[in-house]
Amino acid sequence: MRSRSLMLAAVVLVAGGTPALAVEYKVTPATAPADGKIIVHDVAWRCSVGSCVATRTGSSTDATVCSALARDLGKISAFTVGDATFDGSALEKCNRRAR
């Protein structure tokens, strides 16, 4: 019984997503945002020293999240999801909605 409880606890921990498994966004707007927190497209961003970071949540595509951020913050200079950085073409599409 005890080993079953421990196994169930391990499954819950993994299914719940530990911080080590979380994918993070990092964005560098062309114009440095104010330090603090903002929420864009249901994603909570923490901005400091000219860039913003957030944990990937929800089911929106990365391109959708980038476009929503460009719409709110203006042109995006760099957008990274985990270890993958948007190339020039992806950034161009992202910035079509920039204010």
DSSP 15-54: HH--GGG--EEEEEESSPPPSEEEEETTEEEEEETTEEEE
Between 74 and 4, name the one with better pLDDT: 74
pLDDT of residue 80: 97
pLDDT of residue 58: 84
pLDDT of residue 53: 96
Query: Exposure string (b/e) for 80-97, b if CB count within 10 Å is 16 or more?
Result: bbeeeebeeeebeebbee
Confidence of residue 25 (pLDDT cuts 50, 70, 90): very high
Question: Which among 9, 41, 1 has a CA at the least distance from the CA of 25?
Answer: 41
Q: What percent of the chain has pLDDT over 90?
A: 61
- Predicted TM-score (pTM) of this structure: 0.76
CA pair distance 80, 66, nearest whole angstrom: 9
Q: 38 and 57 in contact (C-beta within 8 Å)?
A: no
pLDDT of residue 20: 54
Mean pLDDT for all residues in the chain? 83
Token pair, residue 28, equals 């560098």
